[in-house]
Amino acid sequence: MSIQQKLSLLRSMAAVDSFQLLYWQVARTCNVYADALAVLGAWYVTKKSIRFVCDLYSMVRLHFIPRLVGRRYLLKHYGKWAMVTGAADGIGKAYAEELARQGVDLILVGLDQNKLEALATAITERFNVETYVLEADFTKGRGIYPPIQEALKNKEIGILVNSVDVPTDYPEFFLNVSEDKLWDLINVNIAATNMMIHIVLPGMVQRKKGAIVNISSGYCCKPTPQMAAYSSTKMYLDYFSRALHREYAPKGIFVQSLLPFSITTKGDGHSEGLHFFSWLAPSPNLYVRHAVSTLGISNRTPGYWMHSVQFLFAQYIPEWLWIWGTTQ
């Protein structure tokens, strides 16, 4: 072998040694970063897993334990009278019947005077409680509230259920929503809740006890296309309720944000808003029996155990998957 060939071989061996040395140095550095990323990933998965297990435990504690230990006595905890807005139909009517079942006297507020009077008569005969009917069209804006305030002057209201709303019958693009419907959404879904609380809350604060239930929607947990205006009003109610609870819980007032998903209405076999399998959509009475058992326990809840499962998974799925699912 010539000298030139020997030198070439030595250079090649040196190059190989240098490459291997570089490779091992890079690999060792990468291993350090890989170990750090593995620790970070394990911490993240553990955190999410613990949170998921805690959420499941909270759901069981909220929806099953209170029903096992028996019905709570709302009359003792909050007072003699309850006011329910939107009481003529749906969740509002179911709340009125369930509160009357527990011996609470009722003020029923709604648009249809005939329906309200028929409900008041039926409740009085069935549960032997006092009832009082107030006709109010919340779409009319600010002018309707002074007469309501005057009518409630001598009533010690312990529970206020803000159930009145302008529902959305089916998903539709924002520009297909009429201007009148948009104003109704603002006046009814937002303003009515604020004003009714503003009327009733001073008495609760004075007595240092009371409960307010604001019915939002499970669809407020993520942006929902083709329900933009409706779901946004419900998001407002959720944030408003949570903030109000923080303000007034030290004064003895419990404010609950209720987040139902689909409810079967009028036995028509389909749900309010988006269409789901019927077993996911309880009747208003079944839903309210579960929801009332959470009052005073959770200030933010879907109210019904299956809706809590839906809400739990809705919080963990990516936003794009939520949007895809709600627009199909």
Lookup: tokens for 169: 């019958």
Q: What is the C-alpha end-to-end distance of the chain, expressed in Å?
A: 77
Nearest alpha-carbon partner for 259 in 317, 299, 229, 199: 299
Distance CA(228)–CA(281), nearest Å, equals 22
Distance CA(235)–CA(204), nearest Å, equals 25
* H-type alpha helices, 102-227: 113-127, 145-151, 179-184, 192-207
Degrees, nearest 5: CA angle 211-139-159: 10
230 in catalytic set: yes
Q: What is the DSSP letter of 268?
A: -
Nearest alpha-carbon partner for 160 in 120, 210, 116: 210
Note whether 210 and 253 are within 8 A (CB): yes
Q: Which residues are bridge partners to 109 per DSSP?
A: 85, 134
Distance CA(89)–CA(162), nearest Å, equals 13
Distance CA(155)–CA(165), nearest Å, equals 24
Determine phi and psi for 27, rounding to 5 degrees: -60, -40
Strands 210-215 and 253-258, sheet pairing: parallel
Residue type, 229: A
Q: Which residues are bridge partners to 131 per DSSP?
A: 106
110 three-class SS: strand
Q: Which of 78, 219, 230, 304 is catalytic?
A: 230
Report the 10 Å Cβ neighbour count for 113: 13
Residues classed as catalytic: 230
